[in-house]
């Protein structure tokens, strides 16, 4: 069974409410990246970095490892990797002062988005009615929640593939939902890859987590246990 470590961080954990300073969080090589970011993007970026570093620390069972000793960089395509652990996999997402990250030894992708309205044109661009029906059966909330969930499911898979939005959202197809996981097919050149995606709603945001179906249903191991207990899964997990 695939085990992944997941971490969710909210902005108040990173700011003045804690004694964490930039030097405690960032590896010296990361400070330049932070300084080059636009001011408005810095807080979210930091949430993502804290989340992935906490997940990594837990993943390697080194609770005393300083966050600043973990260096996270991005490949040319934007995909993140942990320099200390180049043969492992990680994924990062940040939105509206929250960060979500996962670390595992197989390809994974995560996405977090604030629930908000989307235009009809965007909905038509990303999803077919059949897929909407699959997700609608698992959602009790609004249309905005439905569409945001669909979006995060697809983006988590597109990130796990390493493409992000470089591929068309409709090449990723939500086919089913069983025992708490969506099954998703992604056409990738000549191959079709199958994924499990777990989705959850918490604090006005949708979270989706994708892993390859061939490794079996993943065990989702949260660094911050309190998070999962306050979240509502879109189905019984
Ligand atoms: C990945 C992508 C969908 C991000 O979507 P978003 O909703 O705006 O942002 P999120 O917060 O959910 O995700 C951002 C994270 O995705 C990750 N990411 C970026 N590109 C990625 C890729 N190709 N594959 C997997 N993960 C990627 C990064 O870790 C990034 O966070 P970081 O910059 O703090 O390290 C979008 O950036 C994308 O499509 N990128 C790839 C295509 C592209 O434009 N490449 C040019 C790179 S120069």
Helix, strand or coil, per DSSP, at residue 22: helix
Pairing state between β 232-233 and 219-222: unpaired
Ligand 1: centre distance to CA 55 (Å): 19
pLDDT attached to residue 218: 86
pLDDT of residue 214 exceeding 70: yes
pTM greater than 0.75 (yes/no): yes
Residue 227 has pLDDT above 60, yes or no: no
Does the beta carbon of 168 sit less than 6 angstroms from any atom of ligand 1?
Answer: no
Dihedral sign for Cα atoms in the order 41, 203, 221, 68: positive
Q: Which helix (H) or strand (E) holds 173?
A: strand 172-178
Q: How far is the CA of 197 from the centre of ligand 1 (A)?
A: 18
Both tokens of residue 61?
A: 């069972």
CA of 78 to the centre of ligand 1 (A): 5
What spatial distance separates the first Cα and last Cα of the chain, rounded to whole Å?
16
Tell me which of 78, 115, 208 to substitute to probe ligand 1's pocket, judged by most ligand atoms within 8 Å of the beta carbon: 78
pLDDT averaged over every residue in the chain: 88
The proportion of the chain whose per-residue pLDDT surpasses 70, expressed as a percent, equals: 89
pLDDT band at 16 (very low <50, low <70, confident <90, very high): very low
Q: State mean pLDDT over 64-92.
A: 94
User: Which residue has better confidence, 9 or 194?
Assistant: 194
Phi, then psi, of 81 in degrees rounded to 5? -150, 155
pLDDT of residue 126: 96
Q: Is 141 in the pocket of ligand 1 (CB under 6 A)?
A: no
Q: Is 3-233 assigned to CATH 3.90.470.20?
A: yes
Helix 28-36 × helix 39-59 angle, to 10°: 150
Spatial contact of 146 and 135, defined as CB atoms under 8 Å apart: yes
Q: Facing residues of 195 across strands?
A: 184, 212
Q: What is the pLDDT of residue 86?
A: 81
Out of 11-25, 65-79, 174-188, least confident range: 11-25
What is the distance, to the nearest Å, from the Cα of residue 112 to the centroid of all Cα atoms in its chain?
6
């Amino acid at each position: 069974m695939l085990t992944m470590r997941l971490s969710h961080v909210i902005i108040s954990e990173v700011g003045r409410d804690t004694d964490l300073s930039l030097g405690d969080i960032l590896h010296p090589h990361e400070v330049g990246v932070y300084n080059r970011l636009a001011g408005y993007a810095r807080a979210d970026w930091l949430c993502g970095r804290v989340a992935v570093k906490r997940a990594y620390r837990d993943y390697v069972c080194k609770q005393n490892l300083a966050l600043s000793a973990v260096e996270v960089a991005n490949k040319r395509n934007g995909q993140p990797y942990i320099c200390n652990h180049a043969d492992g996999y990680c994924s990062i997402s940040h939105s509206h002062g929250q960060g979500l990250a996962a670390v595992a030894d197989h390809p994974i992708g995560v996405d977090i988005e604030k629930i908000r309205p989307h235009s009809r044109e965007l909905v038509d661009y990303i999803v077919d009615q059949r897929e909407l029906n699959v997700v609608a059966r698992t959602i009790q909330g609004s249309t905005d929640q439905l569409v945001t969930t669909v979006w995060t499911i697809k983006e988590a898979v597109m990130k796990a593939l390493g493409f992000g939005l470089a591929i068309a959202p409709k090449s990723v197809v939500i086919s089913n939902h069983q025992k708490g996981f969506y099954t998703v097919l992604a056409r990738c050149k000549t191959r079709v890859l199958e994924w499990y995606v777990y989705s959850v709603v918490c604090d006005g945001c949708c979270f989706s987590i994708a892993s390859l179906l061939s490794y079996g249903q993943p065990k989702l191991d949260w660094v911050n246990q309190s998070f999962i207990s306050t979240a509502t899964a879109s189905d019984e997990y």
